């Protein structure tokens, strides 16, 4: 009986022993029994990871005893197991690829990390500046505003990314391209948000105004390395208000800032307006007046000449239709032999100059208008075909040099016309007669009479006026080139060499030059493609093209019909034989037709492109 009691007692003791061991193991398996720090107890439970438990990140503890004596450590799982998308982005970031940073290098207080409650931007700034001790950012407009609790202001991650900090190819052209594109896009993403800008007392149209400058247009075409971007002028971190003495755009510092790209400038170069609003009369009165004057010039010019063109087309088409309907063919006063006689109208110099003028003009249009209308698809295509914005600029300047050369030749020929024997006293007596004579392109009283007669003819109130060597619209074409050259040429040279120009006038003149150059170019192109083309080629009596400017001659009957006063004058002066020449050769006619039709086609295509872009682009 005693043996049985002993055996029962031993059995109970064994049960209690094993139960104690099991209980003890359970207690030891609870990590906080050993890891008693506050961050592992209550603070961890309140953290963002508190609901996943210790084994959610620490695993593979095979022996608790070995772990207790620190001979076995748990493995730490990858954060990407839960944060897959973040992990994928981070593995392509600069911090991972170049610095081999791990998650805990930034998120080192992982056990006490709590959900952000409106302090995210401040937390990011504090975290980043532990390594990047950037005093400029901390003191800048962005950084100071963030630390004051402005949730709209940019913190580090807004510009550089949070887990996807860009890894650029340092010190290469590709790096400059990628970095500028990224940071320009980043700056614009906030500064084009109207509500955010208004909420913070900033201009909501700063980006819009920048994009209408040469810098912004070339940026938009996809060539940011060619021009200054946001960070080039405003720097990267020291982004302070203009009034702050340390700001890069403070008037005291602006010249030095501009010199980073524009070397050797005069201090007044910095008066250039980088974000101009041409419609703001109060802030930019001179720019406003300049813009308004060009708009008025465009409207008045085209209102008059398009009306003139439509009335002319209607009248000629109606008369031609009536004659065809009645079966009437205009009779010629000349015998057949005389009728086919060719009369020289333009010399070889005239024709060569006109061909060069066409080439230079199309060169300027094709290289210039993609910059003007930078935000439409066809502009990017044309610039890409030319090999980029830099090459387009070179071609534009080459075409400009040709045009300037032609302009100088025209001036010289005009002087020689007025003073054929030089500037001697004897010859000077007749220069006024030549200036207002029938062979001159200077307007006179007769042009006004012919214009009035033309208008009367439009409305069936009179006969078609008789013209001499030059008509009033041809004289306007010629003088318009002089006007255009002073405006386009002068502004173009200014924009070509702004550093040198800054020694002549202040930087805000560059803004005015941009307005004049752009709007006068639009005026010139549309005038040539719509008015001039109609007057010389598309009028029903000459359609589809008049090759006279290329062949240099026309029939005697054409001289009699279109230049009646000139014909009568030449007959009276017995000089008609001086202008009789042989019929143009076949090679000249083929070359003239080919070049003429190609030029006409290009002009018509660009007319539709420009008008479509202007009204619907």
- Match 């022993």 to its residue by tokens: 17
pLDDT tens-digit profile of 240-274?
Answer: 888 888 888 999 999 999 999 999 999 999 999 99
581 three-state secondary structure: strand
- Domain positions in the chain are 31-115, 166-271
Range in 2-11, 204-213, 416-425, 466-475 with the lowest mean pLDDT: 2-11
DSSP string, 291-345: HHHHHHHHHHHHHHHHHHHHHHHHHHHHHHHHHHHHT-----SS-HHHHT-EEE-
Range in 121-135, 173-187, 247-261, 391-405 with the lowest mean pLDDT: 173-187
CA atoms within 13 A on the CB side of 163: 15
How far apart, in whole angstroms, are the C-alpha atoms of residue 30 and residue 34? 8
With a cut of 90, say whether residue 50 has pLDDT above it: no
Residue scoring higher pLDDT (178 or 195): 195
76 three-state secondary structure: strand
pLDDT tens-digit profile of 321-363?
Answer: 888 888 888 888 888 888 889 999 999 999 999 999 999 999 9
**What's the pLDDT score for residue 132?**
80
DSSP string, 210-273: HHTSHHHHHHHHT-GGGS--HHHHH-SS----TTSTT-TTSHHHHHHHHTTTSTT--GGGGG--
Residue 520 burial (CB < 10 Å; 0-12/13-18/19+)? Answer: buried
**What's the pLDDT score for residue 28?**
45
**What's the pLDDT score for residue 31?**
83
pLDDT tens-digit profile of 515-547?
Answer: 999 999 999 999 999 999 999 998 888 888 899
Mean pLDDT confidence for 557-566: 95
554 three-state secondary structure: strand
pLDDT band at 7 (very low <50, low <70, confident <90, very high): low
**What's the pLDDT score for residue 175?**
67
User: What does pLDDT average to over the chain?
Assistant: 88
**What's the pLDDT score for residue 214?**
94
**What's the pLDDT score for residue 177?**
73
**What's the pLDDT score for residue 23?**
42
With a cut of 60, say whether residue 10 has pLDDT above it: no
The token pair that represents 437 in the structure block: 């004579």
pLDDT band at 161 (very low <50, low <70, confident <90, very high): confident
């Amino acid at each position: 009986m005693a043996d049985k009691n002993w055996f029962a007692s031993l059995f109970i003791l064994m049960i209690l022993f094993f139960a104690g061991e099991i209980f003890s193991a359970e207690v030891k398996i609870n990590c906080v029994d050993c890891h008693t720090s506050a961050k592992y107890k209550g603070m961890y439970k309140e953290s963002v990871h508190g609901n996943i438990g210790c084994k959610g990140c620490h695993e593979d503890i095979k022996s608790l005893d070995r772990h207790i004596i620190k001979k076995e450590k748990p493995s730490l799982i990858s954060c990407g197991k839960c944060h897959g998308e973040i992990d994928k982005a981070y593995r392509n970031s600069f911090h991972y690829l170049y610095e081999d940073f791990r998650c805990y290098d930034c998120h080192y207080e992982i056990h006490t990390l709590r959900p952000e409650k409106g302090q995210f931007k401040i937390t990011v700034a504090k975290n980043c500046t532990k390594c990047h001790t950037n005093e400029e950012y901390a003191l800048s407009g962005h950084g100071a505003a963030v630390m004051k609790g402005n949730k709209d202001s940019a913190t580090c991650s807004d510009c550089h990314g949070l887990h996807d900090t860009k890894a650029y190819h340092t010190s290469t052209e590709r790096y400059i391209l990628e970095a500028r594109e990224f940071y320009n896009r980043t700056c614009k993403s906030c500064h084009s948000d109207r509500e955010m800008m208004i909420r913070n007392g900033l201009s909501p149209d700063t980006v819009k105004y920048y994009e209408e400058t040469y810098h912004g247009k070339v940026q938009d075409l996809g060539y940011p390395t060619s021009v200054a971007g946001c960070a080039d002028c405003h720097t990267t971190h020291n982004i302070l208000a203009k009034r702050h003495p340390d700001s890069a755009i403070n008037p005291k510092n602006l010249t030095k800032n501009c010199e980073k790209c524009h070397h050797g400038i005069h201090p007044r170069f910095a008066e250039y307006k980088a974000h101009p609003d041409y419609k703001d009369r109060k802030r930019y009165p001179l720019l406003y007046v300049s813009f308004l004057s060009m708009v008025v010039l465009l409207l008045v010019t085209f209102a008059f000449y398009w009306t003139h063109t439509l009335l002319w087309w209607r009248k000629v088409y109606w008369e031609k239709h009536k004659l065809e309907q009645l079966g009437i063919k205009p009779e010629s006063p000349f015998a057949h032999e005389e009728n086919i006689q060719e009369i020289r109208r333009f010399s070889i110099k005239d024709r060569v100059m006109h061909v060069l003028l066409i080439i230079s003009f199309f060169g300027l249009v094709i290289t210039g208008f993609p910059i003007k209308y930078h935000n439409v698809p066809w502009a990017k295509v044309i610039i890409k075909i030319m090999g980029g914005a830099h090459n387009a600029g070179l071609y534009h300047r080459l075409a400009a040099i040709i045009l300037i050369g032609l302009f100088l030749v025209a001036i010289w020929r005009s002087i020689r016309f007025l003073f054929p024997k030089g500037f001697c006293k004897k010859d000077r007596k007749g220069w006024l007669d030549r200036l207002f004579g029938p062979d001159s392109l200077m307007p006179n009283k007769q042009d006004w009479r012919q214009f009035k007669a033309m208008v009367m003819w439009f409305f069936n109130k009179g006969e078609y006026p008789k013209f001499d060597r030059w008509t009033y619209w041809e004289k306007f074409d010629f003088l318009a080139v002089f006007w255009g050259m002073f405006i386009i040429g002068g502004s173009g040279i200014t924009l070509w060499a702004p550093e040198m120009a800054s020694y002549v006038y202040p930087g805000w003149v560059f803004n005015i030059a941009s307005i004049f150059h752009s709007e006068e170019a639009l005026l010139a192109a549309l005038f040539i493609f719509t008015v001039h083309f109609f007057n010389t080629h598309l009028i029903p009596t000459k359609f589809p093209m008049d090759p006279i400017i290329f062949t240099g001659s026309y029939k005697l009957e054409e001289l009699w019909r279109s230049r009646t006063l000139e014909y009568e004058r030449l007959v009276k002066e017995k000089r008609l034989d001086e202008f009789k020449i042989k019929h143009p050769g076949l090679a000249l006619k083929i070359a003239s037709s080919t070049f003429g039709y190609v030029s006409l086609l290009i002009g018509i295509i660009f007319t539709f492109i420009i008008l479509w872009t202007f009204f619907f682009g």
